[in-house]
Amino acid sequence: MTSEVAIPKQEANVLRGHEGAVLAARFNSDGNYALSCGKDRTIRLWNPHRGIHIKTYKAHGREVRDVHVTSDNSKLCSCGGDRQVYYWDVSTGRVIRKFRGHDSEVNAVKFNDYSAVVVSAGYDRSVRAWDCRSHSTEPIQIIDTFTDSVMSVCLTKNEILAGSVDGTVRTFDIRLGREISDDFGHPVNCISLSNDGNCVLASCLDSTLRLLDRTTGELLQEYKGHTCKSFKMDCCLTNDDAHVTGGSEDGFIFFWDLVDASVVSSFRAHSSVVNF
């Protein structure tokens, strides 16, 4: 008999400190720490289990839209309204490098598996890759085949996946130089991969999450009940790939059964939009 992961029915803790909207929240790889960023131009490091604020990172000139930490917890990358990608030292809080090149606001950042490359996505319809090991601030790769803003990125060992307001999720095989495009028919504002890497989950602005088989391109399931029409809201699968979760513009958090798409839990966590 396999034990099921308990689905939350209410919040476990509330972390207070940001002066304004929180635009993203991310756990580190082992789940012991969390990072948040927002309209107050700061990034904050927390121990979420004890509700303790550890450190604040300040350097961005405008709102911070996304943040990611390396697997060894030593470096951060962040992005936002000032069009730059920042590369930080976690312990000192010092900015190691600023990557400039996006022509507009930057929506998403991710480290690759080896923490040697940062990939960013922006309103300028491009995805850019930056080398953290060199002293160059120029991108090592630019992907600009999108026809609208790029909102979200995911990385595998050999691929970059990106979701765009143009309604597509595009997969770029770095080794083969090949691009595959899946059209969801509605603006995509967030994507995430299943833990086994076989499926991509896309949050679309028609208040629907869609699960796609990456090999066949088949639409496997749709998840509804939440409201997502105007804001970027994250979505993901639980660690056992048994449930899908996402936020809602009315302040609710939803959990769906992966297979039959039934809502197994929903509760009000905020008074306004849940960005995650």
The CATH number that applies at residue 271 is 2.130.10.10
Q: What pLDDT, on a 0 to 100 scale, did the predictor assign at position 1? A: 36
Q: Is residue 245 part of a domain?
A: yes
Tell me the per-residue pLDDT of 31-41, one tens digit each, with 9 for 90 and over: 899 999 999 99
pLDDT > 80? residue 274: no
Question: Looking at the 3D structure of the chain, how many domains does it have?
Answer: 1
Q: What pLDDT, on a 0 to 100 scale, did the predictor assign at position 272? A: 60
Confidence of residue 275 (pLDDT cuts 50, 70, 90): low
Q: What pLDDT, on a 0 to 100 scale, did the predictor assign at position 2? A: 42
Q: What pLDDT, on a 0 to 100 scale, did the predictor assign at position 11? A: 78
**Bridge-partner residues for 163, per DSSP?**
152, 169
Q: Is residue 175 part of a domain?
A: yes
Q: Is residue 61 part of a domain?
A: no
Q: Is residue 103 part of a domain?
A: no
Tell me the per-residue pLDDT of 229-248, one tens digit each, with 9 for 90 and over: 988 889 999 989 999 999 99
pTM: 0.92
Q: What pLDDT, on a 0 to 100 scale, did the predictor assign at position 4? A: 57
Q: Is residue 168 part of a domain?
A: yes
Q: Is residue 85 part of a domain?
A: no
Report the mean per-residue pLDDT for the chain. Answer: 92
Confidence of residue 104 (pLDDT cuts 50, 70, 90): very high
Domain that holds residue 212: 145-275
Q: Is residue 262 part of a domain?
A: yes
